Structure 1
Amino acid sequence: MKRAPRMLLAGLLALSAAGCAGLSPLQRDQATHIVAQARETAVDCDRPSTACARPSPLRQLGARAFAESAPGAPRHYALLLDYGQDALISRLDLIRSAQRSIDLQTYIFDEDDAGHLTLDELLGAARRGVRVRVLVDQLAALRHVDTLAALAAAHANFELRVYNPVLGRARISYPQYLLAAACCWRQLNRRMHNKVLLVDGMVGITGGRNYQDRYYDWDDEYNFRDRDILVAGPVAGEMEENFEAFWHARRSVPVAALGDVARRLLRGGVPEMPHAPYAVPARVEAISRDADDPLLVHERLVQAALPVGAAAYVADPPDKDGGSYEEIAPSTVHMRELIESAADEVLLQTPYLVLSRPAQEMFEALHARPDGPRVVISTNSLAATDSFITYALSYKYKRRYLRDFGFNIYEYKPFPEDAPIDLDATGAVGVQWNPDGTVDIRTRDDGYRGSVPTEVHMHPSGSGAGQRGRPEARAARQSERMPLEREYSALRYAGIGVNRRVPLQRAGVRIGLHSKSLVVDERVGVVGTHNFDPRGDNLNTESALVIEDPAFARALAASIRRDIAPANSWVIARRDKPPVFSGLEYSLAKVSEHLPVFDLWPTRYATSYEFAPGPGCPAPLPPDHPGFRECHRPVGDFPEVNLGIKSVLTRIFTAFGAGLAPIL
């Protein structure tokens, strides 16, 4: 054996011994004793019946819903949370109102401003007598062992568990990730993607948002256009039941029982909570004040809640594994049944348009029906996506999606002009508000070329409008990171950055789509965590809230239609046929598309189009309309991307060459 392979093998064996060395029973008992002795038990409240909770207009929605419900006739109130600032205010309001319990389940929990603020609020609730339980996935939550060790002993009313801790650790390094991929691939690849915040078993929030700045418009480089739903009423009991199943599952491990955390406790006792100063304290103070303003919460949130009847929480069990399709994915099966029931229209929003084989067969059969529904897809463009790999696979199958499935595809722009994003809150722009409700924005000078659009519609929230042009916000720019960086950490060794966001031709705060929603016939609406992809079908656990109510479905549809409007999305359609050999080109492209890894044909069946308004084109037309080409102009396969077609295709080929398509 050559020297390099021997050294690599020796290193992996040493790493294996270090990474897999478990705790002895004595060590585990000692770590547990340290935590028990150090935990605070004092409660800063002399009213145990209410735990000194602050009155909350949102929690009151839950009390109202239960009071208006009757056996067989439940009442719920549903609130779509499109704006990141509203989503964070809602969470703060509910946490401060909790009287008995708070259950939080999430995939990503970062240690940035949004993450630290949420932790501070949860610990404050625990100290006033509320039972707080937090369940996080191992791969993408709480980066530092000291933070985890401190939280293990923070308070008797606060408990933290880690789901599916590979190698028996709370944190794993990049080399340990590779080791886990080699020794425990099946376990490593099964993650908890559910996201729930539940207060007193009365009001819950679920949807796409994790706990990280870029989900709440607080990142100065890249933010998500996301969506949550707040629901008040009896369905909160179903959410609580599913959380209990996860909390007591064998894969959910108390943080002090994990090797790296326990050894930290045994080595130095319980550390102080590491809490760096907020990057933008003024922003944190502003949103905290907004959450404490009952009039603001009532006018901006409570009044927007819709009264609905029955609601269902559809969630996978914690022991979901690789069995049959129907058995392993209740969320997938339910979504499929809803889509198959469509008569007129399926409106689906997913950031990552990668379909499993059963999903492809379903949409093909739907398209073959004589009276099949129109299928409208809202997803990311290459310029907007945070996941190059998944866009590469979507790009590969454009012909199939359009021709075989009949999709109308709209790809989100990186600089949408009418999006529910508070650009001012990002701290990356100076804002000048105009009398007509639009704003002129000025970006920081950071080496980008060009400028962002001068008219961007924003939500004039109290927390954003009070901070225009903050110099400290610009100074708080964070280093680039991928939201799914641990899930894609093996790509570190794949070369040329196959999953990095592509450079763009213009400056500005980039926006990427992250919401996962479905509307069927404007009679039923779904908001959840499922990306409608193979990972959601077979690997990740997922959840969704399903509401069969026309008013709610129309509101959700209107939100998605805003995202696919010309100001915010490009439309994908068949490119013009070449003057000669069009049939041969189509056949060769189709053959290339079916290659298992590489797709070498350089010409795509479809490309991106921009709406071109004019006297004869007052409104955009769907791509299957006879007048589509008269009202739309082609803008290329990768609009806004500052890479040549050859460079993009090289990265796509490298992505598939890394062999990662099967796990997307």
Structure 2
Amino acid sequence: MSFFVRLSLVLALLLAGGCASLSQQQRDQAQGIAVAARSTEVNCDRADRCALDSPLRALGGQAMAESTAQAPRHYATILDEGELSLVARLNLIRSATRSVDLQTYIFDTDDSARMVIDELLAAAARGVKVRVLIDQLSAISDVHMLSALSGAHANFELRVYNPTFGKAKLNYLDYAGSVLCCFRRFNQRMHNKLLVIDDVLGVVGGRNYQDDYYDWDREYNFRDRDVIVAGPEVREMAANFQAFWVARRSVPAERLNDVGKALLRGGVPALPEASFLHPERIEWVDEEAADPDFINQAFVATALPVQSVSYVADLPRKHRRERAEEPLAGQHLTEPRLDALIASAQSEVLLQTPYLVLSKPAQKLFKNLRKRDQPPRVVVSTNSLAATDNPIVYALSYKYKRRNLRELGFNIYEYKPFPLDAPIDYRQLLPPALDGLPPVPERNRMIGGSAAGSNVRGSGSGRKPSVNGSEVERDVLRTETRPSFLGTRAVNRPLPVTRKGARMGLHAKSMVVDRRIAVIGTHNFDPRSENYNTEGAVIIDDPRFAEALAQSILRDVHPDNSWVVAPRQKPPVLSGLNYSIGKASEALPVLDFWPWRYATDYEFKPGPDCPQPLRRQDPGFHACYSAVGDFPEVDVGPKWLLVRMLTAFGAGLVPIL
């Protein structure tokens, strides 16, 4: 048998494995089973659906009451701390009187996600209309769980966006088949994250539904950010959700092939018992979410009245192929708005993104800024290799450090894996026997400084104890890139580091322009967000709110939390030759092996002559900073070589990373 015949048979098997599906009649039958099993019992007969009396929900009502068509009124609260963001979500769901719409990219079944699922089902049982829309690639893939949720309650609906081969759970053949038959469609994901309560309160930001977004993982957590918006603009969020809900690619869970087969085979199963890893933590957060005084202090007292709010988000039509003469008509909505904001900058752009990979249009945008007589200062907060959840993407950021610094003029700060002053309660992450810390006088006290205008708890220097307190509690697929056709497991994982402890990686997607316009959303400012994913963001034109967000980002770039990327000191001889060869090597799509890179990471060394951090352009920079290497705190090993290899060969991956 020839090679080509064997290859054809393999391809046929792959596609056959991926495309096996239920008939239309079987899908209808499976859906009928789910609908018939749904409880119609409502355990509340009050007009407010027995909603929790919440000061946060009341803020939404206040904003609507104060608004007119000519003068809308909005309040906004920055959610910097992960656990508090979970508390806010739980409280909002409990306070819903009419509807809850939840849209997300990742939805796990761990402690935090299960708490949210239980609250959503409880709201449905009170009579609230609950709709949940999850992306197929990275959300719940447990067929038993999806089958149970599909028939849980008449007021609860669950849909899955863009299910590859109409399935919830993919295997190796599915991943391989997707590359062979429909690579672009497979990569077109719904990256939006949105929670809308009664069309008056909305939560937008980077957080998915998984423990590491809420500071609940003892190995690795995301430094992320959300914003709560109260006021009329939330109706635009609701309208955008509705557009996704009715889109052709949004499929009811019970109509998926594997879920439908399970329903046809055994009916609707009981919801799996909740098995919480840390019940004491569940109890703590449950109490906070029900405490009106705590909710008022954490979210209402920190809310800012803001002048202008707009929600901009892509629509499902971004994933359509339009006619050749109108290739992008009305498809891309988020990216042009953000680009226009950057282009309007006069003095400063603060940009925070976990993945610093720029498309050609983005490069052109920043080059045009750089050409001005007085270009605005561009500060970029992003991940180091030791902090990132996606080393493959970092390799492309590393490859173009020279361009980003010299040609685009970026001031780049790379987030440390063990930040000393992050908005997180470190006691949550360390086993009590190992933390070596005195008892906490208040249960809600946090070690760490506070950012003006946000709801970060407590105050202080935030020095993190250097102890061996890490423990891997479960094997988590952390990267949003998720598995590839190479296998069903994640090919990207945080790399081993030189110290033990619960580390962090940056995941926030935010921007401040001229300390006047603030952006918090899901857009990573990268080619994948531009070309493949649908995204959403809240844009707030208000100096006070913008300054609060700016201070939050500047906290992340402080020497306690980030390294500075800066040019190396010039060698005494052949510095020009080294630069020229490095620049030429960088331009090569392959074989970029030149080892002496233009820039590296630096650590601030305070002292009598260096009382304050300096910008990299300051003449005294090298006297106050010491080089710590290209990949500080990474445990050098085989995966470190992967970064070097991708630097050499990975330029072609930019459009999909």
Alignment match, 1:410: 413
Q: CA, structure 1 residues 343+142, in 2 after alignment: closer, same or farther (shift >3 Å)?
A: same
State the alpha-carbon separation in 1 of the partners of residues 558 and 132 from structure 2: 38
Deviations 1:343-383 (A, max 9, x none): 10000000000011100001011011111100000000000
Alignment match, 1:481: 477
Q: Name the SS for the 2:580 alignment partner.
A: helix
Q: CA, structure 1 residues 456+96, in 2 after alignment: closer, same or farther (shift >3 Å)?
A: closer
Q: CA, structure 1 residues 476+312, in 2 after alignment: closer, same or farther (shift >3 Å)?
A: same
State the alpha-carbon separation in 2 of the partners of residues 573 and 651 from structure 1: 20
Q: For residue 177 of structure 1, report the CA deviation from its aligned partner.
A: 1.2
Q: For residue 599 of structure 1, report the CA deviation from its aligned partner.
A: 1.6
Q: 1:50 aligns with which of 43, 48, 51?
A: 48
Please tell me whether residue 567 in structure 1 is matched to residue 563 in structure 2.
Answer: no
State the alpha-carbon separation in 2 of the partners of residues 147 and 461 from structure 1: 35
Alignment match, 2:196: 198
Pick which of 99-108 and 169-178 moved more.
Answer: 169-178
State the alpha-carbon separation in 2 of the partners of residues 337 and 150 from structure 1: 45
Q: For residue 435 of structure 1, report the CA deviation from its aligned partner.
A: 10
Q: CA, structure 1 residues 279+475, in 2 after alignment: closer, same or farther (shift >3 Å)?
A: farther
State the alpha-carbon separation in 1 of the partners of residues 38 and 437 from structure 2: 49
Equivalent residues in 2 for 1:113-124, closer than 5 Å: 113-124=111-122
State the alpha-carbon separation in 2 of the partners of residues 635 and 152 from structure 1: 52
Equivalent residues in 2 for 1:542-561, closer than 5 Å: 542-561=535-554
Equivalent residues in 2 for 1:224-623, closer than 5 Å: 224-321=222-319, 327-428=330-431, 430-433=434-437, 477-484=473-480, 486=482, 488-492=483-487, 499-623=492-616
Q: Name the SS for the 1:127 alignment partner.
A: helix
Alignment match, 1:137: 135
Does the Cα contact within 8 Å between 1:57 and 1:294 map onto a contact in 2?
yes
Alignment match, 2:34: 35
Alignment match, 1:444: none
State the alpha-carbon separation in 1 of the partners of residues 348 and 183 from structure 2: 39
Q: For residue 392 of structure 1, report the CA deviation from its aligned partner.
A: 0.1
Pick which of 345-354 and 598-607 moved more.
Answer: 598-607
Equivalent residues in 2 for 1:72-87, closer than 5 Å: 72-87=70-85
Q: 2:100 aligns with which of 95, 99, 102?
A: 102
Alignment match, 1:146: 144
Q: Name the SS for the 2:530 alignment partner.
A: helix
Please tell me whether residue 630 in structure 1 is matched to residue 628 in structure 2.
Answer: no
Q: Name the SS for the 2:504 alignment partner.
A: strand
State the alpha-carbon separation in 1 of the partners of residues 486 and 626 from structure 2: 36
State the alpha-carbon separation in 2 of the partners of residues 246 and 163 from structure 1: 8
TM-score normalized by the length of structure 1:
0.91
Q: CA, structure 1 residues 597+250, in 2 after alignment: closer, same or farther (shift >3 Å)?
A: farther
Structure 2 unmatched ranges of 5 or more: 459-464
Does the Cα contact within 8 Å between 2:430 and 2:502 map onto a contact in 1?
no
Alignment match, 1:19: 18
Deviations 1:231-268 (A, max 9, x none): 00001011001001000111111111111111110011
State the alpha-carbon separation in 2 of the partners of residues 262 and 436 from structure 1: 50
State the alpha-carbon separation in 1 of the partners of residues 456 and 238 from structure 2: 34
Q: CA, structure 1 residues 428+389, in 2 after alignment: closer, same or farther (shift >3 Å)?
A: farther
Does the Cα contact within 8 Å between 2:206 and 2:226 map onto a contact in 1?
yes
Deviations 1:137-172 (A, max 9, x none): 000001211111111111000000000111111221
Q: For residue 508 of structure 1, report the CA deviation from its aligned partner.
A: 0.6
Q: Which amino acid aligns with 1:397?
A: Y
Q: Name the SS for the 1:379 alignment partner.
A: strand
Please tell me whether residue 652 in structure 1 is matched to residue 652 in structure 2.
Answer: no
Pick which of 192-201 and 269-278 moved more.
Answer: 269-278
Q: Name the SS for the 2:316 alignment partner.
A: coil
State the alpha-carbon separation in 2 of the partners of residues 397 and 22 from structure 1: 45
State the alpha-carbon separation in 1 of the partners of residues 329 and 566 from structure 2: 34
Pick which of 598-607 and 240-249 moved more.
Answer: 598-607
Q: Name the SS for the 2:301 alignment partner.
A: helix
Q: CA, structure 1 residues 8+265, in 2 after alignment: closer, same or farther (shift >3 Å)?
A: farther
Q: 1:92 aligns with which of 83, 90, 93?
A: 90
Does the Cα contact within 8 Å between 1:149 and 1:264 map onto a contact in 2?
yes
Deviations 1:68-97 (A, max 9, x none): 112221111100000011100100110000
Does the Cα contact within 8 Å between 1:111 and 1:143 map onto a contact in 2?
no
Deviations 1:571-595 (A, max 9, x none): 0000011221111111111111111
Q: For residue 431 of structure 1, report the CA deviation from its aligned partner.
A: 3.6
State the alpha-carbon separation in 1 of the partners of residues 265 and 488 from structure 2: 33
Q: For residue 618 of structure 1, report the CA deviation from its aligned partner.
A: 1.1
Deviations 1:453-500 (A, max 9, x none): xx97699969xxxxxx9xxx98881124333363x4335499xx9633
Q: For residue 425 of structure 1, report the CA deviation from its aligned partner.
A: 2.2
State the alpha-carbon separation in 1 of the partners of residues 413 and 361 from structure 2: 23
Q: Which amino acid aligns with 1:522?
A: R
Alignment match, 2:462: none
Alignment match, 1:445: none
Q: For residue 19 of structure 1, report the CA deviation from its aligned partner.
A: 2.4
Deviations 1:513-568 (A, max 9, x none): 00000000000100000000001111100000000000000000000000000000
Alignment match, 1:448: none
Q: CA, structure 1 residues 531+96, in 2 after alignment: closer, same or farther (shift >3 Å)?
A: same
Q: Name the SS for the 1:540 alignment partner.
A: coil
Q: CA, structure 1 residues 274+461, in 2 after alignment: closer, same or farther (shift >3 Å)?
A: farther
Matched-pair identity in %: 55
TM-score normalized by the length of structure 2:
0.92
Does the Cα contact within 8 Å between 1:109 and 1:115 map onto a contact in 2?
yes
Q: For residue 432 of structure 1, report the CA deviation from its aligned partner.
A: 4.7
State the alpha-carbon separation in 2 of the partners of residues 655 and 147 from structure 1: 41
Q: CA, structure 1 residues 574+654, in 2 after alignment: closer, same or farther (shift >3 Å)?
A: closer
Structure 1 unmatched ranges of 5 or more: 440-454, 463-468
Q: Name the SS for the 1:311 alignment partner.
A: strand
Q: For residue 108 of structure 1, report the CA deviation from its aligned partner.
A: 0.1
Q: CA, structure 1 residues 609+130, in 2 after alignment: closer, same or farther (shift >3 Å)?
A: same
Does the Cα contact within 8 Å between 1:498 and 1:654 map onto a contact in 2?
no
Pick which of 241-250 and 267-276 moved more.
Answer: 267-276
Q: Name the SS for the 1:237 alignment partner.
A: helix
Q: For residue 648 of structure 1, report the CA deviation from its aligned partner.
A: 2.5
Q: Name the SS for the 1:304 alignment partner.
A: coil
Q: For residue 598 of structure 1, report the CA deviation from its aligned partner.
A: 3.8
Alignment match, 1:449: none
Pick which of 68-77 and 120-129 moved more.
Answer: 68-77
